[in-house]
Amino acid sequence: MPVSLPTTRPMKTFLTTTLLLLLTLPVFAADPIAKTEITHVDPKAAAALIDEKKVTILDVRTDAEYKDGHLANAINHDFTEDDFKTQIDTLDKEKPYLIHCQSGARSAKSLKAFKALGFKHIYHLDGGISAWKDASLPVTK
């Protein structure tokens, strides 16, 4: 048995409006958080970013590792701490950050948290502070 659609003007208006709302729903349901741009850099490129004062340096190693030697002006937020996401959530998400750890493994894992919190631009130091030292770049205590 064929289905007949209502032919009254108010019903047509209602159906048209409902259809338009359903078609625009995916636009309103889209993720409002801008995509995090992640750029992987080697020590030389990282040093250039630091020299040009284009980044804030975040060291995601433990406090003991940080105290043993770190990049000048680096801020320490230990990725292994339970409140890591809470700590970094207080940072300005519009600013660019250079993230690193000892070898690059922990900092690579930390990128997920930066994405989830809506940071705009992250630079990841591939190879971590080990690669930095191998490139004969300075560390401070």
Catalytic residues: 101
DSSP 62-84: -HHHHHH-B-TTPEE--TTSTTH
CA dihedral 84→123→59→127, nearest 10 degrees, is: 120
Helix (H, G, I), strand (E, B) or coil at 39: strand
